[in-house]
Each structure stands twice: as structure tokens, then as C-alpha cells.
Structure 1
């Protein structure tokens, strides 16, 4: 284990800056929660709600139909965005049904 010695004044300045940083983060969290960030859904939730496959969900992301956010390798969707495209998905499903009947 390596020991590093710093002056008391330097340590106090560092802790004061860290405390200030913590307060800024807490304030940012409070502002965002006050804005009503809402519930975030993952891939499985969205597939279940829209009754679509994961591949179809990827297509909706790729073509810009459904907005998403990504943290590391996990993708999240706002519940409001998913509700907005329910009619789009239903219309595409109906169009596909009509096309299959005419063949």
C-alpha cells in the first residue's frame, strides 16, 4: 500500500470542492425529477407493450420512429414515446395484413 501525504490546507480545499460537486449533482437530480422524467422501459417491456419482436424494435430505433437512450449496453425508452407509436405499429400491422390477403 502506498501512502501519500498532503498538507491539511490542500486536503480541506479538496473536500470543499468535492462537497460543492456533490451539491451540484444533488441539485441536478432534483431539477430532473421535478421535470417528471417519467418511467423508462427496457427492450422487453416495449416488445410486450407493442406486441413486436426484438428485431422489429431495432428497426423502429434504426429508422428513427422510436427515440431511445442507452446506458452502457442497455437501451431504455420513455413510456410516453412508446405510447405515441402504438398507432403507428398497429397501422403497419394492418397494412401488412392487407398485403398478405391480396396475394
Structure 2
């Protein structure tokens, strides 16, 4: 019978590994979300709710409405920021 001991150092290494894995699995870290909610778009563009509404109404920024919430494609927002919008 072979007995192996787990040391405090082994547990610390495991804890660090789990912490790194948890960081990789968190949404929004290391990768961008494809769809943003209105408040995220306003924060990103530093605009008011009224300005965001104007961008929707005049067709400058496309959106999708799902169950009362408005979602915007990150790609469309990046296009708008680059000045290549409609």
C-alpha cells in the first residue's frame, strides 16, 4: 500500500489553479460580450438615455428588443465609434 501526503503547499497550488480557472470562466473577462444592454452602451459611449434613443430612432444604431429589453451588437457600436455608421 502506497501512501501519499498532501501538504499545505500542494493545497496552495491547487487553490491558485482554481482561482486562475475561475477567472477564465467569468463572462466578460478576456473576451467581449457580443450583445450589450442599453446601460452598457450608454456607459461605453458616455451618452444619456435620450441620446441613445435618438440614435435608435434615426437609425444610426441598430438594436434588438427581447422581452422589453433592448440589446445592441458590439460590432455596430464599434462601427459607430469608428465613424463608419450610416
- Per the normalisation by structure 1, the TM-score is 0.47
Partners of 1:39 and 1:87 lie apart in 2 by: 17
Is 1:55 the counterpart of 2:50 in the alignment? yes
Compute the displacement of 1:87 (Å).
Answer: 4.1
CA distance in 2, matches of 1:48, 1:87: 17
Structure 1 counterpart of 2:66 = 71
Q: CA RMSD in A?
A: 1.3
| Helix, strand or coil at the partner of 2:65 | strand
- Point out the structure with max Rg over C-alpha: 1
**Are 1:84 and 2:79 counterparts?**
yes
Which residue number in structure 1 is paired with residue 9 of structure 2?
A: none
Q: Whose RCO is larger (CA < 8 A, sep 6+)?
A: 2
User: As a proportion of its length, which structure holds more helix?
Assistant: 1
Unpaired runs of 5+ residues, structure 1, are: 1-37, 89-103
CA drift of 1:65 comes to 0.1
Shift >3 Å, 4+ stretches: none
The alignment of Structure 1 onto Structure 2 pairs a total of residues equal to 51
For 1:1-103, list aligned pairs within 5 A.
39-88=34-83
DSSP 3-state at the match of 1:52:
coil
